[in-house]
Amino acid sequence: MNKKILLIEDDKNVRENTSEILELANYSVKTAENGKTGISIANSFLPDIIICDIKMPVLDGYGVLQIISKNQKLKHIPFIFLSAKTHYDDLRKGMEFGADDYICKPFEESELLRAIESRLKRAKVLKNKGSFNTRNELELFDNFKNIKDLKQLLEGKKLFNYKKNETIYCEGNRSNFIFLVKNGCVKTYKNNELGKELITGYYSENQFFGYSSFVKQLPHFENSKTITATQLYKLTKEEIKLIMDSNPDVLFSLIELLSSKLEESRKRSLLLAYSSVRKKTATILLHLLTEYPDKSKNEISINRSDLASTIGIAKETLIRTLHDFKEEKLIDLKPRSIKILNKNKLQNIH
């Protein structure tokens, strides 16, 4: 049976042309010239998806979505806004009201059909029993607001346990998951052709890792290993997509996460390429003071080998530099930790 689409659009030409496109794509289409008529048709037609203009007489698109979202029969029908409005605030307003997508006029036929197909596939997945099976899935996704709310979605998922120094994935492995640390510490690193290790990142509770290769659909370009006993959640591409589809704020959060990591990597590359050993060491120590998982106040618990690999220098060179810093009263050295004594002077090292 053909999928049913309700098109609510006050512009006659747009309404007729869009309806024709959808019918040629084998959809069963009903149209309405305003929001009030559209709601009436929706109650009897029960479409599989609703496409609705924003600026309309009688009842605008925002009003249509608000009424539909309170109707038990209609609230879970995918809803796409179709409008000439292109301002970012309009987009955010539509998404905050609960729209699933937003297409700006004029649009390409393929763009409209892709959006419809994507939303219908998502609706189908949500109707099937998936990996989030401890509560009503639709309610879970509807209540999901941002990445910080992820815990409630993970209550029924399997936890993966790793021992200390256990490998999670290796460079070249196919990326099938994004990883989230429930507890413990993880490091990512690369080995050069001589086997020298360069640590690329540290991750602890509620932090994601392994997402770059996942997003690009490429094999992992680095290795990953636990520093302590660790528990992880593994999220598949489909699960991440469902979460982002439910609320665009999650997409913005993920973009922000990727952007911040990209900027951090760029600064780190410049530091390793052009800075002195003293500058590299001082900068990484200050960075670890805020980012390293195992720390307390001004003290970092990290072994010398890992610290050298993080900075990108030989262990012997690191030890000499640390002793220089100690003599200058910038740090205090303990067998398994380093205490920062003077942040300002470390920041000013060249």
Task: Determine what percent of the chain is predicted with pLDDT higher than 70.
Answer: 74
> Higher pLDDT residue, 212 or 58?
58
The CATH number of whichever domain residue 73 belongs to comes to 3.40.50.2300
How much is the average pLDDT of 129-156?
A: 49
E strand spans, the chain: 4-8, 28-32, 49-53, 79-83, 101-104, 160-162, 167-169, 177-183, 186-191, 197-203, 208-209, 223-226, 230-236, 295-296, 299-300, 331-334, 337-340
Q: What angle do CA 198, 200, 201 make, to 5 degrees?
A: 135
Average per-residue pLDDT for the chain: 80
Compute the distance between CA of residue 9 and CA of residue 103 in angstroms, rounded to an integer: 13
Q: What is the pLDDT of residue 64?
A: 94
Q: Are residues 286 and 333 in the same domain?
A: yes
Q: Are residues 295 and 198 in the same domain?
A: no
The reply to whether 264 falls in a domain is no
Longest dimension (CA), the chain: 81
Question: Lowest-pLDDT range, 87-91, 128-132, 205-209?
Answer: 128-132
In this structure, what DSSP letter does residue 145 have?
-
Q: What is the pLDDT of residue 155?
A: 63
Task: Determine what percent of the chain is predicted with pLDDT higher than 90.
Answer: 33
Q: Are residues 338 and 304 in the same domain?
A: yes
Q: What is the pLDDT of residue 322?
A: 94
The reply to whether 296 falls in a domain is yes
Question: What are 192-227's pLDDT values in tens digits?
Answer: 777 778 888 888 887 888 876 655 667 888 899 999
Question: What are 263-319's pLDDT values in tens digits?
Answer: 666 666 666 666 889 998 998 898 888 777 667 788 988 889 889 988 888 899 999
Q: Are residues 58 and 107 in the same domain?
A: yes
- The answer, yes or no, to whether residue 247 has pLDDT greater than 60, is no
Q: Are residues 18 and 56 in the same domain?
A: yes
Q: Are residues 293 and 235 in the same domain?
A: no
How much is the average pLDDT of 115-133?
A: 66
Q: What is the pLDDT of residue 146?
A: 47
How much is the average pLDDT of 76-97?
A: 72
The reply to whether 269 falls in a domain is no
Q: Are residues 228 and 297 in the same domain?
A: no
How much is the average pLDDT of 109-136?
A: 68
Q: Are residues 41 and 70 in the same domain?
A: yes
- The answer, yes or no, to whether residue 134 has pLDDT greater than 50, is no
Q: Are residues 111 and 187 in the same domain?
A: no
- The answer, yes or no, to whether residue 87 has pLDDT greater than 80, is no
- The answer, yes or no, to whether residue 246 has pLDDT greater than 70, is no
How much is the average pLDDT of 98-105?
A: 80
Which of 69, 99, 127 lies at the terminal end of a domain, its last residue? Answer: 127
The reply to whether 316 falls in a domain is yes
Q: Are residues 32 and 118 in the same domain?
A: yes
Q: Are residues 117 and 153 in the same domain?
A: no
The CATH number of whichever domain residue 195 belongs to comes to 2.60.120.10
Q: What is the pLDDT of residue 178?
A: 83
Q: What is the pLDDT of residue 148?
A: 47
Cross-strand pairs, 85 = none
Which of 79, 95, 127 lies at the terminal end of a domain, its last residue? Answer: 127
Q: Are residues 157 and 206 in the same domain?
A: yes
How much is the average pLDDT of 314-329?
A: 93
CA-only gyration radius of the chain, Å: 26
Q: What is the pLDDT of residue 119?
A: 83
The reply to whether 138 falls in a domain is no
Q: Band of the pLDDT at 172, cuts 50, 70, 90? A: confident
The reply to whether 18 falls in a domain is yes
Compute the distance between CA of residue 302 and CA of residue 310 in angstroms, rounded to an integer: 11
Q: What is the pLDDT of residue 275?
A: 81
> How many domains are there within the chain?
3
The reply to whether 140 falls in a domain is no
Domain of 186, in residue numbers: 147-246
Compute the distance between CA of residue 331 and CA of residue 346 in angstroms, rounded to an integer: 9
Compute the distance between CA of residue 47 and CA of residue 77 in angstroms, rounded to an integer: 7
0.85 exceeded by pTM: no
The CATH number of whichever domain residue 299 belongs to comes to 1.10.10.10
The reply to whether 80 falls in a domain is yes
CB of 76 within 8 A of CB of 138? yes
